[in-house]
């Protein structure tokens, strides 16, 4: 199976581990991530203003690229996934945005939200299957107690993201279980880490991060797993708890990366 792949600017740089292991694990599991040609950064946050068009165009270009290849579009970074999926929803359902974006783009055929956006975890759950994933694990992460950190962008708003139950998600816990580790469920796993506010207001973000990591540590998690480079950065700056990308865990379990 082949998918169009939107790596995102951070995965090309600070979060190379997230990218490299995502691709290597995909090959091992029998699917291929074909990087889109000429993708541009999605901007990191979804432009909430109903009158914003220009800031949505990089996402529309990526979505249309996948449509032309008749492939689903996969993202690994939570933020890319969030932005692509919400812009796609606009292109499918908001007539005004659809019209104005298409006027700018002047494509041979207008884009109307035809592409399907998938997070890598959804590919594992819905295409590969966690049972099947479990069978391919060569280094089960037995004895590790791992907390899933969802944050905001994968889950909310649930009506658009449709990723998992926004208040009580299970996909990452099922993933952790498939790798042979024990998932630790703790109350702050879908609370915000402060996101972009950490550029200026470190203390604000720090207070939110400490609530999250203290809660996870209180439930005996020995590390947290995330799909978001900004979550990782914020949490790492404010806690001793190791924060790892889900693709690193996957690579360890599949024998691609040396076990820590």
Q: Which residues bind another protein (CB under 8 A)?
A: 8-10, 13-15, 41, 43-45, 47-51, 55, 77, 79, 152, 155-158, 166-167, 191-192, 194-200, 204, 208, 228-230, 232-233, 236-237
Pull the structure tokens for residue 209: 């991060």
Name which of 211, 92, 59 is nearest 149 in CA terms: 211
CB of 106 to another protein, least distance (A): 25
Tell me the β-bridge partners of 35.
5
> Which residue stretch of 48-56, 135-143, 227-235, 249-257 sits at the interface with ligand SF4 (rule: CB under 6 A)?
227-235
Options 62, 73, 74, 79; binder of ligand SF4; rule CB under 6 A:
79
Alpha-helical segments (H) within the chain = 16-29, 57-68, 78-93, 95-105, 120-122, 130-135, 158-161, 171-178, 202-218, 229-237, 246-253
User: What's the order of all strands across the beta sheet hosting 145-148?
Assistant: 182-184, 145-148, 223-226, 243-245
CB of 209 to ligand SF4, least distance (A): 9
- Binding-site size for ligand SF4 (CB under 6 A) equals 21
Rule CB under 6 A: say whether 41 interacts with ligand SF4: yes
Q: Is the torsion defined by CA of 162, 85, 200, 148 positive or negative? A: positive
Name which of 53 and 193 has its Cβ closer to ligand SF4.
Answer: 193
CB of 48 to another protein, least distance (A): 4
CB of 176 to another protein, least distance (A): 23
* 166/117 Cα distance (integer angstroms): 18
Pull the structure tokens for residue 213: 């990591």
Name which of 104 and 196 has its Cβ closer to another protein.
Answer: 196
Containing 121, the helix (H) or strand (E) segment is helix 120-122
Options 47, 65, 169, 195; binder of ligand SF4; rule CB under 6 A:
195
Options 3, 4, 10, 169; binder of ligand SF4; rule CB under 6 A:
10
If you search the block for the tokens 């005996």, which residue do you land on? 220
Please tell me what DSSP assigns to residue 123. Answer: I
Q: By the criterion CB under 6 A, which residues form the site for ligand SF4?
A: 8-10, 41-44, 77-80, 83, 151-153, 192-193, 195, 228, 230-231
């Amino acid at each position: 199976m082949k998918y169009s792949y939107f790596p995102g600017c951070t995965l090309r740089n600070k979060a190379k581990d997230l990218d490299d292991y995502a691709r290597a694990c995909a090959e091992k599991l029998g699917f291929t991530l074909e990087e889109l040609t000429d993708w541009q950064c999605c901007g990191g946050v979804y432009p909430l203003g109903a009158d914003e068009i220009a800031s949505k165009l990089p996402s529309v270009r990526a979505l249309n690229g996948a449509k032309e290849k008749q492939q689903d579009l996969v993202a690994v970074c939570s933020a890319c996934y969030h932005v692509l999926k919400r812009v796609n929803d606009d292109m499918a359902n908001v007539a005004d945005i659809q019209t104005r974006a298409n006027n700018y783009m002047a494509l041979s055929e207008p884009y109307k939200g035809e592409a399907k956006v998938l997070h890598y975890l959804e590919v594992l759950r819905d295409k590969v299957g966690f049972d099947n994933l479990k069978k391919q694990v060569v280094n089960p992460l037995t004895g590790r107690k791992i907390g899933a950190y969802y944050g905001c962008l994968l889950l909310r708003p649930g009506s658009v993201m449709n990723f998992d139950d926004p208040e009580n998600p299970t996909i990452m816990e099922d993933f952790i279980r498939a790798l042979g580790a024990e998932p630790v469920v703790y109350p702050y796993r879908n609370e915000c880490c402060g996101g972009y506010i950490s550029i200026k207001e470190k203390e604000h973000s720090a207070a939110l991060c400490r609530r999250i990591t203290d809660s996870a540590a209180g439930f005996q998690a020995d590390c947290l797993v995330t799909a978001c480079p900004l979550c990782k950065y914020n949490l790492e700056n404010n806690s001793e708890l190791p924060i790892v990308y889900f693709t690193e865990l996957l690579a360890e379990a599949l024998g691609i990366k040396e076990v820590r």
